[in-house]
Amino acid sequence: MAHPERSSLQAYLAKLTGHTVLTAQEQETILSLPFHIEQVAANRDFVSLGESVDHVSVIASGFVGRFDQNSNGERQITAIHVPGDAANLHSVVQPQAASALQSLSASTVLRIPHQAIRAVAARHPAVAEALWRDCIVDAAISSQWIVNVGRRDAQSRIGHLFCELAIRLGATTGGNSFTFPFLMTQIHLADATGLTNVHVNRVLRSFRDADVVQVQQRAVMVHDWDRLTKLGDFDPGYLQTDIMPGAQLRIVST
C-alpha cells in the first residue's frame, strides 16, 4: 500500500533526476510508489544469497553492503550502498539474488514491490530510462571496484573508497577540508578493499600522520581533499554526479 511518508523517496528521486530529465508528472509517479519500511539492525542480512525477492530495497538511512562469497563461505563486500541508493534495482528483471545485502550499520530500508516498479516503467518510458541509467551507474561503480582491488595499492584502495563515498554522500562543497559520515567498522573497510584488518589500520594511521584523513566517531574528517584524490587515483566522472542541468539526458520525447 502507498505510504504517507513520501519524502522518504525524495533522495532516490533526486538521484534519478540528477542524470535524467523527468517531468513533474513522472517525478510524482516515483514519489507515489508504494513501499514498506523495514528497520534493520547492524550486521544483519536482509536479502540472502540466492533468495528470490519480490521487491527493490531503497536505502533511506544507514550504510548497506552487497556481499559475495566463495565456496568456503568467506565474504567480500562488493558494493556499499548509502541513502538514496536502490541497492538491488536489477532484481526487477532478475529476482534471484546473486549477492546478499547486509546492513553495515542500523539502517532503514524501503521495500518497493517489483510489480509497482514494472507498472510505473510501463506507463512512463522516461522513468524506465532513468531506472536503466541508474543500473548503468551501479555497473560503473562495480567496474571501478574491480580496478581498485586488482590494480591499486593499499593506500590508493582506501583513499579511492573514501573519495567515492564523499562524492556519493554529497559531502564535498568546494573546500579542501570537510567531514562525512562513515557508518562502517575497520573490518568492513578491510572486506571492501581486500586487505587485512592490520593493513587497513596501518594505512589509516599513515593518513592521520600525514594530516590527510582521520577516521573518528563514525565519521571521516578530510583535511586535504586534493592530496586524497591523488593518493586514491580518483576521477569522479564514473559516478555521474556532476552533470549540469542542461546536460541531463532524456531519450524519450516529452
Q: Is the pLDDT of residue 83 over 80?
A: yes
pLDDT at residue 6, rounded to an integer: 62
d(CA 143, CA 148): 9
Which amino acid type is present at position 17?
T
CA torsion through residues 72, 204, 63, 162, sign: negative
Question: For the chain, which domains are there?
Answer: 6-147 (2.60.120.10), 153-232 (2.60.120.10)
Mean pLDDT (whole number) for 93-106: 97
d(CA 231, CA 104): 26
Q: pLDDT for 107-162, tens place per residue?
A: 999 999 999 999 999 999 999 999 999 999 999 999 999 999 999 999 999 999 99
Which amino acid type is present at position 122?
A
Mean pLDDT (whole number) for 78-86: 97
Q: pLDDT for 25-67, tens place per residue?
A: 999 999 999 999 999 999 999 999 999 999 999 999 999 999 9
Label residue 202 by pLDDT band (50, 70, 90): very high
Q: Where are the beta strands (DSSP E) in 41-132?
A: 45-47, 55-61, 64-69, 75-81, 100-103, 107-113
User: For the whole prediction, is pTM greater than 0.95?
Assistant: no
Label residue 5 by pLDDT band (50, 70, 90): low
Rounded to the nearest angstrom, the gap between the alpha carbon of residue 221 and the centroid of all alpha carbons in its chain is 20
Name the average pLDDT for the chain: 94
